[in-house]
A and B are shown apart, each in its own frame.
Chain A
Amino acid sequence: MRLISLLNPKLILFEDKALTKEQIIRRMLDKICEMFELINCTDKLMQKVLERESETATVYPTGMAIPHIRMDGLDDTIIAISIPRHPIKDKDTEVKIYILILTDKNISSLYLNVVASFMRISKDEALYNSLLNAKDVHSFMNYIEQANIKDKDEVTVSDIMTTEPPVINENETIKALAEMMKEHHLYYIPVVNNNGDWVGDVNLLHYFQVSVPDYMQMMNNVNFLHSFEPFEHLYKQEDNVLVKQVMSKPERLLHPDYTIIEAVFEMVKQKKQTFSVIQDNKVVGIVTAMDIYTKVVRA
């Protein structure tokens, strides 16, 4: 199904005035309530959307926000779009476009495909900018029409992954690794070689592992050690141990075209919550179990 077929020009709003997030959502809901006979209209819907928003943020780094609710007995999927000419600060991101989706509790795949379609739009820089700068609803719809955005059969890893993640060279020391993790607030970094090819992953546990030498890991427990200073060894070794000495490689990799179920399968099977997404030996993204939870399961 083409995305354009699901969109209604009357539910696409360009907001020239500076508005708040709540005002924007309310205006979209008002429009929806004008056009559709819904059981609970604006106030109750507003409350539900805001409740859902407070549970899980739906703002993506590209400046797209997709607030949504699932309702009993709606038996439909309604999409409203709002483009504030004055971007709105939401959770450290400047939101340039709001896509409000109302869907039935039982309609899952269509909803996910719609989200995936918008995510793809947000990653296509030229199209995304054209849409944000569209003069009016007509040209907005034209851009979507020309792009011929279709539902994919399934949502894939590329739809939900974080693109262009920071990477670290395998020959860096673990001290550099620690500094990078601290600077970027990361607990997981893909490792690349001098050619930029992916060679493994490191996380905080790999770093901590240096403080617990191999012989200690072989012991039943270390509760008898009162005077042992666990990080003494780590501090001594920080400049000597290289990332490639501590990194690990998952049994199998995730590819951007993998379906969500494939990704979940690998996560559960390998007991690993974060994966580098690899295409042609290059890191194209990172996907976490939380991404799947917030963007798919609880989306």
Chain B
Amino acid sequence: MVNMIIAFGIFVLAYVFIISEWINKMTIVLLGGFLLVLCKVMTQDIAFRYIDWNVIFLLIGMMIIMGVIKETGVFQFAAIKTAKIAKGSPIRIMLLLFIVTAAISAILDNVTTMMIIIPVIILITTELGISPVPFIITQILASNIGGTATLIGDPPNILIGSAVKLSFLDFVYNLTPAIIIISAISLLIIFLMYHKHMHVSNQRRARIMEYNDKMLITNKPLLIKSIVVMSLLVIGFLLEEFIHLSSATIAMSAALILLIMSNRKEVEHIITQSVDWVSLFFLIGLFMIVGGLTETGFMGRVAPYIVKATQGNLKYASLGIVWVSGFFSSILGAVPLVATMIQLIKNISGSFHTASINPLWWALALGSCLGGNFTIIGSAANIVSVGIAKRNGYPISFWTFMRYSFVITLMSLVISTLYIYVRYF
């Protein structure tokens, strides 16, 4: 019982620090993990057993791949080319970039995608003489929506997929249709919201058309190699169930092959600069802290109350999870929320008298990833993008962000609820 209280105390304190950011959250979470060991709540061996190394290495693999591909200039090319295809029309640029960003985010890391796309957006809007703020916010929304579509699109999905052994194909089959519907409606809402408010002169449009996009691919041989490896990676993920390999092995193999094929001198640079070690250590700390709750039996104690609240009904539980995870991920951030929810859902899974509790996982994935769009702090991509905007003289306040994001996030969660209801019940 004492151990349970200590574990819960450390968990609550860590989450208070995650929200308040009084201390660097990676440091505090990792310290929390080791405090559990120091306080003898669990041994180091047990604490380490709660770290999901499949998640850690899958993330490292994807970060390395992203690090290599971004050197080719292909993302900047995609953004500029999109603006040219849109013929410099602001609303067309906004809509097409939404699709491009969502598609890239579905396969690659959202934060890095934003770090490449947002500067290009500021450049384009500066050239067009219009505010970049609506563009930045719609891109953030696109990134979080697109990331929800696949196993590797967003860290919450990686956490869920790894913890519950759901494959890449499972995610595509269950989540991608919902995301396509949500994206289509988002595009419609964006069109209705903005199409009357963005007019630019011919002269300014012409400046966009003058961009020489052919110059943007800076390393064509590497791009070709990257496309080959990425294709193999996706095939590997699709065949995951048949070749009996975990996603981390597939991602790491692809990443290391790509690394070997890229510039040898860049290897250390990519490993040190493109792999987000701080986020990885944050995750490791989270795994240990949440593991403390499971190990001490706290999750087991809370589970009956949850089951009672949902009357042991999988439908109510699933629909509830969409909204609860949607709301809390916008405050806590999706990753800390999902890390906790996974353990909680595992504890209540036996209480439902159904063959599969997978709807709960899809509800968690949809709720937590899409809920990240509610607030400025809902996901790492939001924080990074708003930071870039601020540094360039376009501060986006909490409320400004919400004014733009509210309708689309609300719609996303409503569609997710309907989707879960129609598809699984």
Contacts and interface: CB of A to CB of B under 8 A. Distances in A.
Given A213-B392, A227-B207, A219 B119 contact: yes
Q: Classify the interface of chain B: helix, strand, loop or mixed.
A: helix
B222 interface: no
Interface residues of B, number: 25
A35 interface: no
Interface string A185-222: 00000000000000000000000000001111011110
Contact of A219 (B71, B120, B212, B213): B120
A224 interface: yes
B381 interface: no
Contact of B211 (A213, A216, A218, A224): A224
Interface string B200-215: 0000000100111111
Nearest to B74: A220
B308 interface: no
Given A224-B216, A226-B211, A227-B210, A219 B76 contact: yes
Contacts of B392: 213-215
A131 B63 CA distance: 70
Contacts of B122: 213, 215
A166 B213 CA distance: 46
Contact of A223 (B71, B115, B215, B388): B215
Contacts of B253: none
Contacts of B118: 215
Contacts of A228: 127
A42 B120 CA distance: 69
Interface in B239-263: none
Secondary structure dominating the interface of A: loop
A177 to B, nearest CB: 20
B218 A220 contact: yes
Contacts of B304: none
A39 interface: no
Nearest to A221: B218
Contacts of A215: 118-119, 122-123, 388, 392
B115 A218 contact: yes
A168 B76 CA distance: 39
Contacts of B80: 224
Which one of A216, A224, A226 has the highest number of Cβ atoms from chain B below 10 Å of its Cβ?
A224
B211 A225 contact: yes
A220 B116 CA distance: 9
B213 A224 contact: yes
B264 interface: no
Contacts of A221: 73, 215-216, 218
A218 B120 CA distance: 9
B391 interface: yes
Contacts of A227: 207, 210
A141 B40 CA distance: 80
B109 to A, nearest CB: 16
Interface string B89-130: 000000000000000000000000001101110110001000
Nearest to B118: A215
Contacts of B211: 224-226
Contacts of A214: 119, 388, 391-392
A216 B216 contact: no
B207 A224 contact: no
Contact of A216 (B123, B210, B215): B123
A220 B73 CA distance: 6
Contacts of B215: 221, 223-224
Interface string A45-71: 000000000000000000000000000
Contact of A226 (B115, B116, B210, B216): B210
Interface string A220-254: 11011111100000000000000000000000000
B119 A218 contact: yes
Interface in B339-390: 388
A221 B211 CA distance: 13
Nearest to A223: B215
A97 B237 CA distance: 81
A228 B215 CA distance: 15
Contacts of B71: 220
Nearest to A233: B126
Given A213-B392, A214-B391, A220 B76 contact: yes
B30 to A, nearest CB: 27
A210 B118 CA distance: 19
Given A220-B73, A220-B76, A226 B212 contact: yes
Contacts of A226: 210-212
Contacts of A216: 119, 123
A223 to B, nearest CB: 4
A226 B212 CA distance: 7
Nearest to B127: A228
Nearest to A226: B210
> Most B CB atoms within 10 A — which of A214, A218, A219, A220?
A220
A221 B76 CA distance: 9
Given A215-B119, A219-B123, A224-B214, 5 more contacts: A214-B119, A214-B388, A220-B216, A223-B215, A227-B207
24 contacts: A213-B122, A213-B392, A214-B392, A215-B118, A215-B388, A215-B392, A216-B119, A218-B115, A218-B116, A219-B120, A220-B70, A220-B71, A220-B73, A220-B216, A221-B73, A221-B215, A221-B216, A221-B218, A223-B212, A223-B215, A224-B214, A226-B211, A227-B207, A227-B210
6 interchain residue pairs of minimum CB distance: A215-B119, A215-B122, A218-B119, A223-B215, A227-B210, A224-B215
